[in-house]
Structure 1
Amino acid sequence: MSSLASAAGTGMTGIAASDALTLRAIRIDDAASCAELSRYVGWPHRREDWEFVIGLGHGLVAERNGELVATGQWWPYGESHATVGMIIVAPEQQGAGIGKRLMQELLAQAGQRSLMLNATVAGAPLYVRLGFRSWGGGVRQYHGHALVVAEPAPTLGKRLRLGSPGDLAMLERLDREATGLERGPVLAALLKCGECLLLEQAGQPVGFSILRDFGRGKVVGPVVAADEMDARTLIACWLHGRAGQFIRVDLPLGSGLGDWLVQHGLAPAGDVTAMVRGDLPVASGPARLHALVTQALG
C-alpha cells in the first residue's frame, strides 16, 4: 500500500518537524505518482493525462521523505500570458504552507507574464493573497454517459471535415481569435493524441473541435466556433455514435450549451472560478472558445 493510502487509512494529520520538504522540477517519469496523488483527492486524471500536461509546460513537485506530496504547474502562451494549474497538496499535508510555497515558486518562474487559473473554493483564498482576482468568469464541468444523439447537419453553406496536423496553422489562427493566446504547442500535441473536426464555410475554416481520451472516458475540447449553433454541431458530431460512453465537456459559465448537454446525458459536475493576476488576453473574434482543453490549460 502506498504511503498516501496508508495515511488516509490511519487518519494521519500531523507532520513531524524533522520531515524535510523538498521542491524540484516535475518530470515525465513523475506521471504515475502524480496520477496516484490526483486519484487520492478525487481527480480522474490517468498517468497519460499527466504525461500530456507535464510535457507541455513547467512545474514542481514537493516531496517529503521520498514521497510525492504536492504538485503545481504553469504553461506559457507566448511571452505575455500563461495559465497555472494542477495545484494539489495531499490532504494530510495541508495546512503547512506547501501550497503557498509551490505557488510562489511558480510565480517566480513565470516572470512578468499575466497568469490565469481556475480556482476551487478551497484554493481561491490563497490565490487572492498572491495577487489574483476573480474576473467574473468561471467554468462548469459536465460529464456523464451520452444518450443517443442524431448525426448533426451543419447549417447551410458549411461543411465538416476531419482535421490533421497539416491544419495546425489554421487551428492556431482560430484559437488565437477565440482566446487571444498563442497556444500552438498545445494544439500540436492535441492533434497527435486526439481526433479533430474542422467546420468550413466557402472553403475557409470557421471552427473546430477535438476529442481525446481523458480520465474516465473521453473529453471534447477545445471547441472553437463563431456561435453556439456551430459549437453544438461540433460537439454533437463526437456524441453521435457514442451512446453509453462517458464524455466530459468543460464550458464557460453562462454558456447556453449546458442545458443541451444535459438533454443528451451529461450532468453538471462542479464549478470553478476564473482568476487572473495581471491583464486578461484580448480575443479578436469572431471565433469564440465554447469548451476548454482542460481547466488547467484553458
Structure 2
Amino acid sequence: MADTEPVTIVVLGVDDAPAGLVLSTEARWNQNEADWRFFLTNGIVFGVRDGTDLVATAALLPYSAGNAWISMVLVTERWRRRGIATRLVDACLDAARQGGLTTWLDATPAGATVYGPLGFTPTLQLRRLRLEHPRQEASETLAIGDLDALNARDRRAMAFERNALLAEFGARAGSRILSHDNAMALVRDGRTARHIGPLFADSAEDALALVDAISRTETGPILIDAIASQEPFIAGLTGAGWNIERPFQRMRFGRATTQGEELPFAVAGPEFG
C-alpha cells in the first residue's frame, strides 16, 4: 500500500491473540499468547489490518480509580514511519478521555520522544535486567505467597487495584507467588524468558535475597523490570551477574492521581505497569 492510502483502525477481539503474538514476536518482546488474551479480554485493543493481516496494534487496559495503561504499541516493519503508531495511541487516548481515565505507559527511549509531544509527562524510570544462566544450586526455602497479600502491597504501591491482573497471572500454569522474610514477588512465564515482578520488600537486602533464591530454582533466562531509583537493588543484581538490557521511561497523560505509599523494587512489566 502507498503511504497516502487511508488507514482504518478497528477494535480487535480475543481471536486476534495469535496475530498479536506474531507482531510482538517480530519485535522480540517477551509477551506470550496468554498476555494477548488478557489485553483483548480485559482492555480495548485497536488494530490496523492489511487485508486479513494484522499489521499494527495499541492497547488500553483500564484499572481502578480512573487509571489505565497504554501498551502493545506495535507496527510491523514494512508499515513503520507512516504515523500509524501515533494514530493508534490517539485512539487509546480518545477512549480514555471518554472514560475519564488518566493514562500511563512505560516507553522505550525512542517511544518517549514520540509520547512527549503528545502531552505525556515523565515520571519514574525503569531498568530491564536479564539473567541468562541462573545458578543451579540449593537455595533457601521459599514460602508460597498469598495472593491477597500481594494484592494489598500492589495496591499500596500503585494507589489503585489490579486484582484481576494479578489473579490471572497467579492462575497460569508455571506461575508462582513466592515470599522470603519481608519480600514477595510473582514469577511467571514469558515467551522467551521467565519474569519476576511485581516485587515488594522492606529493604534492598530482602529484595536481593528473594531474587537470589528464586533464580536458584529457575533453569532458563529471567527478566526483571526494576525501579531505577532503587539503586542498591540494581547494583546488587548486576553484581550477581544480571545485565541491564534497556531503560524504560514511565509517563502519564492527564491529571495526577494519588501516589502510592511504597515504591516497589520491580514492576509487573512495562506492558502492565
Is TM more than 0.5 here? yes
Q: What is the distance in 2 between the residues matched to 1:289 and 1:43? A: 23
Q: What is the distance in 2 between the residues matched to 1:216 and 1:281? A: 35
Q: What is the distance in 2 between the residues matched to 1:79 and 1:180? A: 8
Q: What is the distance in 1 between the residues matched to 2:250 and 2:3? A: 36
Mapping of residues 121-270 of structure 1, within 5 Å: 121-135=109-123, 137-143=124-130, 144-148=132-136, 151-152=139-140, 161-163=143-145, 167-193=146-172, 194-199=175-180, 207-242=183-218, 244-255=219-230, 256-270=232-246
RMSD, matched Cα: 2.2
The farther-off stretch of 248-257 and 46-55 is 46-55
Residues 1:294 and 2:269 aligned together: yes
- Asked if the contact 1:149–1:236 (Cα under 8 Å) also holds between the matched residues in 2, the reply is no
Per the normalisation by structure 1, the TM-score is 0.81
The list of structure 1 runs, each at least 4 consecutive aligned residues, that deviate by more than 4 angstroms after superposition, is: 17-20
2:7 to 21, 25, 31: 21
Q: What is the distance in 2 between the residues matched to 1:115 and 1:17? A: 29
Match of 1:64 in 2: 50
Structure 2: runs of 5 or more not aligned: none
Q: How many residues align?
A: 266
Per the normalisation by structure 2, the TM-score is 0.88
Match of 1:82 in 2: 68
SS at match of 1:209: strand
Alpha carbons of structure 1 residues 232 and 149: separation in structure 2 relative to 1, 3 Å: farther
- Asked if the contact 2:147–2:177 (Cα under 8 Å) also holds between the matched residues in 1, the reply is no
Q: What is the distance in 1 between the residues matched to 2:157 and 2:267? A: 11
| Larger CA Rg, structure 1 vs 2 | 1
* Equivalent residue letter for 1:197: L
The farther-off stretch of 224-233 and 81-90 is 224-233
Structure 1: runs of 5 or more not aligned: 1-14, 154-159, 201-205
Alpha carbons of structure 1 residues 217 and 266: separation in structure 2 relative to 1, 3 Å: same
* Equivalent residue letter for 2:265: H
Identify, as 1 or 2, the structure richer in strand: 1
